């Protein structure tokens, strides 16, 4: 158990469909804290860096084309075990196998348009957050953490 930071993206399909608000509401309802947030459109270079682990896979070019196709909303989420918790809220990569009630099960139909990205480990979170944010982009929500998350 530890307070963690993770990268959460509302991908271009979520922005285009107007469901970023619903996604953010689910994160906030769970009690996670948004400590950085920006809307931006990725260029190919940054997209390939973000998805470097998938380079060479058959879906890689399509993935880069999709993630650069329009604006996305990038967030740094902070909370207790936030890396696994956000993955749980998102649901499995393929919406058909995502748990009912998860974002992907509730809003998505296909693996290639699955609305959200979330870091899958501490190493990924650290690496990915640096791709999207500068140190000055982060706010402190120390008081909210103490009030709502820490169990004394």
Residue 108 in the binding site for ligand DAT (CB under 6 A): no
* Nearest approach, Cβ of residue 93 and ligand DAT (Å): 3
Read off the DSSP letter of residue 64: H
Give me the residues paired with residue 34 across strands: 77
Between the CA of residue 125 and those of 59, 79, 108, 132, what are the distances in Å? 22, 13, 24, 11
Q: Which stretch binds ligand DAT (CB under 6 A): 12-20, 76-84, 108-116, 143-151?
A: 108-116
Residue 102 in the binding site for ligand DAT (CB under 6 A): no
CB 122 within 8 A of CB 3: no
Would you say 130 or 140 has its CB closer to ligand DAT?
A: 130
> Rounded to an integer, what distance in angstroms lies between the CA atom of residue 122 and that of residue 139?
20
> Rounded to an integer, what distance in angstroms lies between the CA atom of residue 77 and that of residue 84?
12
Which of the choices ligand DAT, Mg ion, none does residue 63 contact, using the CB cut-off of 5 to 8 A by kind?
A: ligand DAT
* Binding letters toward ligand DAT, positions 6-45, x by CB under 6 A: ----------------------------------------
Known catalytic residues?
A: 117
């Amino acid at each position: 158990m530890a307070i963690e930071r993770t990268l959460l993206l509302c991908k271009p399909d979520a922005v285009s469909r107007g469901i970023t608000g619903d996604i953010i509401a689910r994160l906030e309802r769970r009690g996670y804290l948004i400590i950085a947030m920006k809307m931006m459109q990725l260029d190919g270079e940054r997209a390939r860096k973000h998805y470097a682990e998938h380079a060479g896979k058959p879906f890689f070019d399509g993935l880069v084309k999709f993630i650069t196709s329009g604006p996305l909303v990038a967030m740094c989420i902070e909370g207790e075990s936030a890396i696994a918790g956000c993955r749980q809220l998102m649901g499995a990569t393929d919406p058909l196998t995502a748990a009912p009630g998860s974002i992907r099960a509730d809003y998505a139909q296909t693996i290639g348009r699955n609305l959200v990205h979330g870091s899958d480990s501490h190493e990924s979170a650290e690496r990915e957050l640096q791709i999207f944010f500068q140190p000055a982009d982060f706010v402190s929500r120390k008081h909210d953490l103490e009030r709502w998350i820490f169990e004394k």
